[in-house]
């Protein structure tokens, strides 16, 4: 196995979305995906989880990959974590960007009154307006169910909106009617909307982390399958769109891999990194 740094090739920053990229939509991690990602780490590369999941959900994936050093981009870039086994919990928050969610929540609830809402604060505490469908949010047992008005009172790193009713087309039309301003947002699968502080994205988080890892921009790679990956795919020097991704995501990438069901990420990284 070629080690990073040989033949003039330095270690890469490899930023990876989680759902639909590392794991399937039922949170299953194949042994092949895990093996290839561990091989990348063993070769000296920096595997960085970059996800819309909260910190706890992101850390669950890092633990499954035995990532003990480095950085994690959580909550679509609003929360950055440093991994270090010498720390009390093995990790620490190095940056948490927040915004006042009240205006966005009011706009959303007016257009989508039956939707579920979740707000995460700078202390990584999550508050929800009701129970989300099973397995849609990691570590759901730690989430506090509160009245909708209480959601408005917390400075937020992110808002999640989940509309259990209606079609995808109806949901997208409703999001357009909301007219969100002063925030960053991405429409996900299954009538899902992620909202972050203005200007915050996975790419924003990577811009902060790359210098900490002393990795040049030319040595950055990303992979993802969702609309919240677009900025990241456009920012890194090389980028991988998963085979099941929408066309707009594929068009933003430099390489289209096979779908998650075929371990497309593993195959693409083996080729790019010569593992």
pLDDT digits (tens), the chain, 275 positions: 224 544 346 899 999 999 999 999 889 999 999 999 999 999 999 999 999 998 989 999 999 999 999 999 999 999 999 999 999 999 999 999 999 999 999 999 999 999 999 999 999 999 999 988 776 776 666 789 999 999 999 999 999 999 988 888 888 899 899 988 888 887 876 788 989 999 999 999 999 999 999 999 999 999 999 999 999 999 999 999 999 999 999 999 999 999 999 999 999 999 999 98
- Ramachandran category for residue 179: left, alpha or beta (phi over 0 → left; psi -120 to 50 → alpha): left
Q: How would you class 77 by CB atoms within 10 Å of its CB: exposed for 0-12, middle for 13-18, buried for 19 or more?
A: buried
- Rounded Cα gap, residues 182 and 149, in angstroms: 20
Q: At what angle do helices 102-111 and 168-178 cross, to 10 degrees?
A: 130
Q: For the chain, give every domain's residue range.
A: 6-97+200-273, 102-197
List, in order, residues 6 or more apart from 85 with CB less than 8 Å away.
68, 69
CATH superfamily of 6-97+200-273: HAD superfamily/HAD-like (3.40.50.1000)
Topology classification of domain 102-197? 3.30.1240
Q: Which pLDDT score is estimated for 185? A: 81
The answer to whether domain 6-97+200-273 and domain 102-197 are alike in fold is: no
- Stated pTM of the model: 0.90
Contact between 227 and 193 under an 8 Å Cβ cutoff? The reply is: no
Cα–Cα distances in angstroms (integers) from residue 59 to residues 75, 81, 82, 130, in the given order: 12, 9, 10, 24
Q: In the prediction, which pLDDT does 139 show?
A: 61
């Amino acid at each position: 196995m070629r080690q990073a740094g040989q033949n003039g090739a330095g270690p890469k920053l490899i930023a990876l979305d989680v759902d639909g990229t590392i794991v399937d939509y039922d949170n299953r991690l194949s042994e092949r995906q895990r093996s290839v990602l561990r091989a990348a780490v063993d070769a000296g590369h920096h595997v960085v989880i970059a996800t819309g999941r909260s910190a706890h959900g992101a850390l669950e994936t890092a633990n499954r990959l035995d990532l003990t050093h480095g950085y994690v981009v959580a909550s679509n870039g609003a929360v950055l974590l440093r991994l270090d086994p010498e720390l009390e919990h093995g990790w620490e928050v190095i940056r948490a960007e927040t915004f006042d969610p009240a205006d966005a929540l009011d706009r959303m609830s007016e257009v989508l009154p039956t939707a579920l809402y979740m707000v995460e604060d700078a202390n990584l505490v999550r508050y929800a307006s009701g129970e989300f469908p099973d397995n849609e949010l990691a570590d759901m047992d730690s989430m506090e169910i509160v009245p909708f008005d209480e959601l408005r009172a917390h400075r937020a790193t992110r808002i999640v909106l989940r509309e259990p009713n209606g079609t995808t087309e109806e949901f997208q039309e409703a999001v357009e009617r909301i007219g969100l301003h002063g925030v960053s947002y991405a429409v996900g699968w299954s009538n899902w909307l992620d909202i972050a502080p203005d200007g915050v994205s996975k790419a924003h988080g990577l811009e902060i982390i790359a210098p900490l890892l002393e990795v040049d921009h030319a040595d950055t790679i990303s992979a993802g399958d969702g609309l919240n990956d677009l900025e990241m795919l456009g920012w890194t020097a090389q980028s991988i769109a998963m085979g099941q991704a929408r066309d707009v995501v594929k068009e933003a990438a430099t390489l289209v891999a096979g779908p998650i069901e075929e371990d497309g990420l593993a195959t693409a990284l083996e080729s790019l990194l010569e593992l």
